[in-house]
Amino acid sequence: MQVSNNNNIYRPLKAEVTDIIDESPLIKTFVLKPEHDFSFRTGEFIELTVDGVGEAPFTPSSSPLKKDELEVTIMKTGYVTDILHNIDTGFTLGIRGPYGRGYPLDKLYGKEVIIISGGCGFAPIRSLMLNMIAEKEKFKKVTLCYGAKTPEECIYKPFVNEVRQVQGFDVFRSVDHKDDSWDEYEGVVTGLLDTLTFNLEDTVAVVCGPPVMMKYGTYKLIEMGFRDEDIYLSMEKNMSCGCGKCGHCMMGEYFVCKDGPVFSYDEIKHLPDIWN
């Protein structure tokens, strides 16, 4: 396992920004080339450092099968991300990790998988889907329900088109407010679930998005009859050190950075305020 540079858990590896892709007005994807190969499992996260400024956790959005570069999709939403949105290619960032427990692929093999995602929460899901597409024969069916506020804010448009070409994979999208360009669903993302049918005994759900979407997405799945242990959630807290020490991401008895960020609902439902 690579945890850092020079065997010091706090010192980042350097990584050059080789490309920046505009995904939506507030979301960009940064292609990073680390100074040496960097591997991660899908759903594990990294700490991304802007030198001398700050550090923030992100789950790579690229395929874990790629070792020489990785992609991180970032929404402009705070101090570090504001600065990241103003850098150009050629800039050197730092990465630490990978950290945490990613998606439980072994629990998804042989199953139907329903994914509910919203906004920038598509980023880890893209990595998961790239991983699943690479071994698509291992899944019965994969369905993504993705929601954004407006058509303009839908990210990964070319990727969605590619996924729709893959046999056994499907993507349904919703926007809160449509415009003339939109011929898909209008409404909240959970509304898409009413248009689909599942074999509950054989389906596992994955949810990743803003807290309010995670909450109502999970409630909707339970209402539909999903078992708590078949719903996987990506919990995003203030992961700072990434390795279960600094305490900022504690959620009940869990260090989200080490024990998560992916949990089954069954593992965390006893805790108060998980949706905050």
Partner 1 sequence: MENGIRIRLENFISFLSSYSKKHNTYAPVQTDETLDYDYINDLNAGAVVLNVPKPVTPLKLFFLPVKENVTLDDPQEPGSLIVGVPSCDLNALDILDEIYLKEPFVDPVYQKRRANTILIGTDCYGHQEHCHCTTYGSNPYPERNFDISLSAFADHLYLIPASEKGSNLIDEMKGTVSDFEELTELPNGITSRRESAVTELQKLNSKLPDYERTGELIRNVNNGIWDKYSRGCVSCGGCATICPTCSCFLLIDKPGFEKVRQMDACQYPGFARVAGGEDPLHIRSDRFRNRYMCKYVWKPQKFEAVACTGCGRCIETCIAEINKNEMFAELAET
Site residues (vs partner 1, CB under 8 A) = 1, 3, 6-12, 14, 49-56, 77-78, 80-81, 94, 211, 236-238, 240-241, 243-248, 250, 252-255, 258, 273, 276
Return the structure tokens found at 238: 């203030």
Residue pair 226/254 in contact by the 8 Å Cβ criterion: no
Closest contact distance (angstroms) between CB of 185 and partner 1 is 26
Which is nearer to partner 1, 52 or 158 (by Cβ)?
A: 52
Closest contact distance (angstroms) between CB of 198 and partner 1 is 31
- Token match 């069954």: residue? 266
Q: What is the DSSP letter of 206?
A: E
Which is nearer to partner 1, 12 or 217 (by Cβ)?
A: 12
- Number of neighbouring beta carbons within 10 Å of residue 90: 8
Which is nearer to partner 1, 232 or 254 (by Cβ)?
A: 254
Beta bridge partners of 250: 255
Which is nearer to partner 1, 11 or 149 (by Cβ)?
A: 11
| 29 vs 22: CA distance, rounded Å | 7
- φ, ψ (nearest 5 deg) of residue 203: -120, 140
| 54 vs 15: CA distance, rounded Å | 15
Closest contact distance (angstroms) between CB of 212 and partner 1 is 10
Closest contact distance (angstroms) between CB of 95 and partner 1 is 10
